[in-house]
Amino acid sequence: MLRRICVVVVVIYQVLGALSLLLVPLSAMGAFGMERDPLAAVFAILLALPWSLFLDRLGGDGSTGFHLAFLALGMVINAVLLLGLCRLARRGD
């Protein structure tokens, strides 16, 4: 039961992360009738915390692609940590 809950949480986190990363360029282009929103990346930044604070320094004033890649990396790190916590919790049962 605990394994299923952990898997569901990780999958939901990954889906939210992918959607938040997709929202950034779609909002910048104004696709699908969306208004251009300069704060579209806030959701991605929050989902990649705390790594987004450190990885953003590596990108400097680089392109948006680098920043999105760093945010994706932060989300992957968080997902791996969640999976590790799931395995640790399962081992304790």
Closest by alpha carbon to 75, among 7, 19, 27?
19
Per the rule left: phi > 0, alpha: psi between -120 and 50, beta: everything else, 53 is alpha
The helix-helix angle for 51-59 and 64-92 (nearest 10°) equals 150
Residues in Cβ contact with 46 at an 8 Å cutoff, skipping those fewer than 6 apart:
none
DSSP-based helix, strand, coil % in the chain, nearest 5: 80, 0, 20
- Model-wide pTM > 0.85: no
Tens of pLDDT along the chain (93 residues) come to 777 888 899 899 999 999 999 988 888 777 777 777 778 889 999 999 998 888 777 766 767 778 888 889 999 999 999 999 888 877 766
